Structure 1
Amino acid sequence: MFPLQRILFRIVRLNNWVLFWASTSLILVSTIAMSTIEPETFPTIFDSFWWVMTTVTTVGYGDYYPVTIAGRIYAVFLYIIGIGLIGVVIGKIIDSFGMLRKMREEGKLDYKGENHIVIIGWSKKAEYAIEEILQTDSSMEIVLIDILKKTPINNNRVSYVQGSASNQTILQKANITKSKAVIIFADDTIEDSLLADGKTLLIATAVERIARDAHTTVEILHEEHIQNFVHVHVDEFVVTHETVSRMAVRSAFTKGVSFVYSQLMSHKYGDDLYQLSSRSEWRTYQDAFDALIKEGATLIANSEGINISRRLDESIKEDTTLYIICDKETYTRLTNT
């Protein structure tokens, strides 16, 4: 038994490619050998191949078995060497899958997809953002970047990249240049808002340097810090403290307004806010407003502001982006016509 153990230990230590070619060669040689030794028992190469495979991977099915002394001696050899070799190969394959899963959980794999959304910075806000994204589009792929040792979320649609988002290599691992959008959340672990927004600025600069075409949304804690981002291409800012405070005040003065905000900001409730391209037959905002009302949607804004109701007689410029309020079914119908 001791020599056999030494052989098995040496097999385990073999290079994966050596193991692969050794096992493949053993199967091919054994297939030809058994067909040659016992042509009556194994009339075709496939019959011999079938017996070899069932022998080295299971205990066999009993439909084919060697009947000559030479055939049985070779079968014993195959039991001892073949089953051990193939067992090691199967074990290594299983270990490889386990290693890949471990590397994925630890954020050590490169993301190769495209048109995904990159979220930088893990927090409750990021968790809610992921939930909202997947409710909006269940097929969307998301890449989360953070310094945590393991992924904080278990979802097949979410890939994790571990590291500092200010590092260009980490951003490239997230394939940020092929992303659809980037969302940068402020670091909740930094108590000083100046330092938190400073870190956000550093990350936004790194993102802008290699992914200028990605739509970038940045969370900052104080509105006056926006001017510090003037040299960085940021598409949209979300001001956390001011936004929450203003919403609370508006709710105090206008009862029920927070419910309206919640409907517009989340796909969980009621109608939602959608983006729509202008149609050639809509010459004025009045034309667009009337046509959309008949379809069950309300036109509220364009890319310049929400004062559409006072500009209904104005002509709509070519390629103007409009914003409407409606349910998902209405929006789907509008975009498909």
Structure 2
Amino acid sequence: MYILQRVMNRLFVINKLGIFSFTFFIVIFSSIVMHRLEPKTFPRWFDALWYVMTTVTTVGYGDFYPVSVAGRIYAIFIFLVGIGIAGLAIGKLVEALGAHRKRREEGRLTFRGKNHFVIIGWSEKAKYAVSEIIETHPELEIVLIDQLAVTPMTHHNLHYVQGDPSMESTLNQANLKEAKSVLVFSDDSIQDSALADGKTLLIVTSVERLTPDIHSTVEIKKEEHIKNFRHAKVDEFVLSHETVSRMAVRSAFSKGITDIYTQLLSHKEGENLFEVRKKAEWKTYKDAFEGLLRQGATLIADGNDLAINQKLDERIRDDARLYIICSKNVYESLK
């Protein structure tokens, strides 16, 4: 009994691969032994395997059982050793699954996917952004980078990475080189706008240095800092304070304008803003405008150029990025 106790104590410190390998060996070896000891009781090798599996898992259907003395003696060995080993293996499996889930929740796993969307910095704004992406692009994988102890939100498409986003190791853990786009939110815990933008600039500089071709969108607190972010080759800017203030002022003078903004910014209600590619039959902006209008969509811009109505007779570039306002159903029909 002392020897058996020593063996079991050693098994508890053996790694998981060793436990599973030994359990597999015991099951296969015991199946072969039982088949050899009692060929009449277990005419097929699978019958012996079935008996061993129902025994070590303590199911015990009773449809097969040894009748010879040798078979029963070996069955005692399976009771004493096999059941304990199988229980230990199942326990290790449950422990491994729990450890994997804990590592995922704590953001300590490396993301291996491609063409994903990276969000840096958790806040209420980031929460709304994640919800919007899940709503509009349910197939898209999202990687969130922050320094929280555990993931602030759970979803099968959301993967959390814990760490300093200005560090290359953290960005590599998020597999930024294979990402489709990155969105950097400003740190709301920093009250000084200059310090908040300084931290954001440090992060986006690390991002652009590691992946210069990635499409980056950054939230900025002060408009005069845009020139610094342009130097860092940031693609898009969102002015948090100025945008909210301007919307508030316009709503004060133009009743109902905030409803228009809400519809354009959210895909959950009303008409929405979409991007479409140029079609072969669209030679000029007028062709595109009239063609889209017949299908229920309104052309409003080419890239950041909103003066479409002033250049209807001009030719459309092949690489034009046309933006339209329409319902989701109309957009789906245009794709």
TM over 0.5, shorter chain: yes
User: What is the identity, as a one-letter code, of the residue corresponding to 1:31?
Assistant: S
SS of the equivalent of 2:52 reads helix
Are 1:115 and 2:133 counterparts? no
TM-score, structure 2 normalization: 0.97
Q: Which sits farther off after the overlay, 45-54 or 18-27?
A: 18-27
User: What is the identity, as a one-letter code, of the residue corresponding to 2:156?
Assistant: N
TM-score, structure 1 normalization: 0.97
Give the aligned partner of residue 273 of structure 2.
Answer: 273
Give the aligned partner of residue 296 of structure 1.
Answer: 296
How do residues 116-195 of structure 1 correspond to structure 2 at under 5 angstroms?
Answer: 116-195=116-195
The Cα shift of 1:261 comes to 0.3
User: Following the alignment from structure 1 to structure 2, what is the Cα–Cα distance between the partners of residues 61 and 238?
Assistant: 66
Give the aligned partner of residue 226 of structure 1.
Answer: 226
Q: Which sits farther off after the overlay, 14-23 or 167-176?
A: 14-23
Q: Cα deviation per residue 1:141-193 (whole Å; 9 max; x = unaligned)?
A: 11000011111111111100000100001001001111111000000011110
User: Following the alignment from structure 1 to structure 2, what is the Cα–Cα distance between the partners of residues 303 and 32?
Assistant: 71
User: Following the alignment from structure 2 to structure 1, what is the Cα–Cα distance between the partners of residues 42 and 290?
Assistant: 80
SS of the equivalent of 1:324 reads strand
Give the aligned partner of residue 27 of structure 1.
Answer: 27
User: Following the alignment from structure 1 to structure 2, what is the Cα–Cα distance between the partners of residues 311 and 250?
Assistant: 28
How do residues 66-85 of structure 1 correspond to structure 2 at under 5 angstroms?
Answer: 66-85=66-85
User: Following the alignment from structure 1 to structure 2, what is the Cα–Cα distance between the partners of residues 314 and 176?
Assistant: 39
The Cα shift of 1:4 comes to 4.7
User: What is the identity, as a one-letter code, of the residue corresponding to 1:101?
Assistant: R
The Cα shift of 1:223 comes to 0.5
Give the aligned partner of residue 263 of structure 2.
Answer: 263
The Cα shift of 1:304 comes to 4.0
Structure 2 spans left out of the alignment, 5+ residues: none
Q: Which sits farther off after the overlay, 100-109 or 316-325?
A: 316-325
Are 1:12 and 2:12 counterparts? yes
User: Following the alignment from structure 1 to structure 2, what is the Cα–Cα distance between the partners of residues 197 and 17?
Assistant: 48
SS of the equivalent of 1:149 reads coil
How do residues 196-211 of structure 1 correspond to structure 2 at under 5 angstroms?
Answer: 196-211=196-211
User: Following the alignment from structure 1 to structure 2, what is the Cα–Cα distance between the partners of residues 301 and 29?
Assistant: 72
RMSD value, Cα: 1.2
The Cα shift of 1:230 comes to 3.0
Specify whether residues 304 and 18 from structure 1 end up closer, same or farther in structure 2 by C-alpha distance, changes over 3 A only: closer
Q: Cα deviation per residue 1:234-286 (whole Å; 9 max; x = unaligned)?
A: 11000011111111111111111100000000011111100011112111111
User: Following the alignment from structure 1 to structure 2, what is the Cα–Cα distance between the partners of residues 22 and 284?
Assistant: 73
Give the aligned partner of residue 334 of structure 1.
Answer: 334
SS of the equivalent of 2:231 reads coil
Give the aligned partner of residue 253 of structure 1.
Answer: 253
Q: Percent identity?
A: 53
Structure 1 spans left out of the alignment, 5+ residues: none
User: Following the alignment from structure 2 to structure 1, what is the Cα–Cα distance between the partners of residues 142 and 304?
Assistant: 30
SS of the equivalent of 1:189 reads coil
User: Following the alignment from structure 2 to structure 1, what is the Cα–Cα distance between the partners of residues 216 and 223?
Assistant: 17
Aligned length: 335
Q: Cα deviation per residue 1:76-131 (whole Å; 9 max; x = unaligned)?
A: 11011000001101100110000000000000000011111100000001001101
User: What is the identity, as a one-letter code, of the residue corresponding to 1:328?
Assistant: K
Are 1:37 and 2:37 counterparts? yes
User: Following the alignment from structure 2 to structure 1, what is the Cα–Cα distance between the partners of residues 225 and 21?
Assistant: 61
Are 1:93 and 2:111 counterparts? no
Q: Cα deviation per residue 1:3-59 (whole Å; 9 max; x = unaligned)?
A: 654443222222322222211211121111101110100001111111111111123
User: What is the identity, as a one-letter code, of the residue corresponding to 1:295?
Assistant: Q
User: What is the identity, as a one-letter code, of the residue corresponding to 1:173?
Assistant: Q
User: Following the alignment from structure 2 to structure 1, what is the Cα–Cα distance between the partners of residues 29 and 243?
Assistant: 73
User: Following the alignment from structure 1 to structure 2, what is the Cα–Cα distance between the partners of residues 60 and 12?
Assistant: 26
Q: Cα deviation per residue 1:176-225 (whole Å; 9 max; x = unaligned)?
A: 11111100000001111000000000000000011122210000001000
SS of the equivalent of 1:230 reads helix
User: What is the identity, as a one-letter code, of the residue corresponding to 2:99?
Assistant: M
How do residues 45-64 of structure 1 correspond to structure 2 at under 5 angstroms?
Answer: 45-64=45-64
User: Following the alignment from structure 1 to structure 2, what is the Cα–Cα distance between the partners of residues 166 and 275?
Assistant: 32
User: Following the alignment from structure 2 to structure 1, what is the Cα–Cα distance between the partners of residues 58 and 180?
Assistant: 49
